[in-house]
Amino acid sequence: MTGRPGDLDLDVLASVDTGTSDPLGEPIVSRHVGDQVVDRLVTAVALGVYVPGQRLPSERDLAPMLGVSRSTVRDALRTLTDTGYLEVRRGRNGGYFVLADWGPSSAEMVRRHLIPNWQHFEALFDARTLLEPLIASTAATRRTPADCEAITHALQAYGDATDREGSRQADERLHRAVAEATHNPVLLGLSSRIRSRVSLNLGAEPYSDQVRRSALDQHQALARAVVEGDPASAAEVAGRHFTLSQNMIRDLVSRVRQDEEPG
């Protein structure tokens, strides 16, 4: 193992490598790298991964998320600023802030990012639909008092969050705590990798105020089922909960496909 306790050493999965294309490991996009970054960030903003008024991660943090150089990230951020998606704020708490969640070219850029790679997203959704109920039910069976405490604290943090970043951090903590309660590093690692891909490698699930309200109710039900040791209920809630993100992505794809249709 490397990194934080519970992180998955990818060598654990070497024995199941069939040599086939891996939608969890391959880059989602394969176009010119600078255009990739612009299109992915516009798609992320359209999905609410980042919302208006929110500060983006720094160039230093975005570069490894996107697998590109800092200079490429810098150029992309300048492009997005010039086209009205971002604004630059100076000073101690400055940086690049989301200004608009949709622009005249958004549909085209979202199409370029999502449509050619849609089979990869479908594979991710299918894997998640199969995996997350298993994780939840296993957690409900194996959870310890320490696991229950971590889940309860993360749930409270999600309810107390007052902004997008606070919600993102608490959401990640809660789902990691549930996955850690399985005491199975392979399940934990797979869940983390799928979550990363669904979030476009940008660290947050798609988001809206309506999704947050639904997620809060489902988080409460999921935490209760795991803590009370009810594997069937935990699996059922997880199965519903993890459709929130994929439904947002599907809705966005439907929107840009409609925009593409003539007249």
All domains of the chain in start order, with CATH: 33-102 (1.10.10.10), 115-260 (1.20.120.530)
Picking from 245, 43, 226, the residue whose alpha carbon sits closest to that of residue 150 is 226
Model pLDDT for residues 11-37, shown as the tens digit of each residue: 444 444 444 555 554 544 445 788 889
Nearest-angstrom CA–CA distance, 96 and 104: 20
Model pLDDT for residues 225-234, shown as the tens digit of each residue: 999 999 999 9
Residue 169 above 50 pLDDT?
Answer: yes
Residue 161 · residue 167 · CB < 8 Å: yes
Residue 8 has a pLDDT of 42
Share of the chain above pLDDT 90, in %: 81
Long-range (24+ apart) CB contacts under 8 A made by 189-193 are 189/7, 189/8, 189/9, 189/10, 189/12, 189/13, 190/8, 190/127, 190/131, 191/131, 191/132, 191/135, 192/7, 192/8, 193/8, 193/24
What number is the average pLDDT over the span 105-118?
Answer: 94
Residue 31 has a pLDDT of 53
Whole-prediction pTM: 0.85
Please give the mean pLDDT across all residues of the chain: 89
**In this structure, what DSSP letter does residue 88 have?**
E
Report the amino acid identity of residue 50: Y
Torsion angle, CA of 111/113/119/125, rounded to 10 degrees?
A: -100
Model pLDDT for residues 37-86, shown as the tens digit of each residue: 999 999 999 999 999 999 999 999 999 999 999 999 999 999 999 999 99
Nearest-angstrom CA–CA distance, 49 and 41: 9
Residue 111 above 70 pLDDT?
Answer: yes
Residue 170 above 50 pLDDT?
Answer: yes
